[in-house]
Amino acid sequence: MTRVCLLGAPDVNLRYELLSRETARAALATYDLSEPFENALALDTVSVGAAVSLMNDLNWYLVRYVDDALVLDPSVSDEEWLSRDLAEEVRDGDVAPGETGGLLKMYGVEAGRLVEPMFVTRVDDAVPEYDLRDVDETVLVRVTEDEFGAGY
């Protein structure tokens, strides 16, 4: 199974915004929704392609209410997420799954919410420590070169 996680913008209630809109509600109706982090919505799809397709269907809402859209696919990694853009590149065959792990966006996890992402580069298979604040754990997101360079 491929997992999708939508991280809500700080000024919105993501679950309310998506489920109060008929089109988004219909697109999400067949999925079991969970909230792995504060103001986040997660669900399982059958593949990277299905995950990207769902995000494309929800794009109007993602642009307005979501800070980040992540994809976790076991064919790439069991623990590290892909950014939406990188998931599209993997789906399209533009990037091999094994070539996705060098550039990372690292979120801190504090009291069940994702905080202050920082961009890091994996060196010799090691990931630098998160140093923006003390956190309980971190979440790693593999990103494209463009996303890494933009630092957003």
- pTM here? 0.94
The strand order across the sheet containing 2-8 reads: 40-45, 2-8, 66-72, 81-83, 137-142, 103-110, 113-121
22-80 pLDDT, tens digit each: 999 999 999 999 999 999 999 999 999 999 999 999 999 999 999 999 999 999 999 99
In sequence order, the 6+-apart residues with CB closer than 8 A to the CB of 86 are: 95, 100, 142, 143, 144, 147
pLDDT mean across residues, the chain: 95
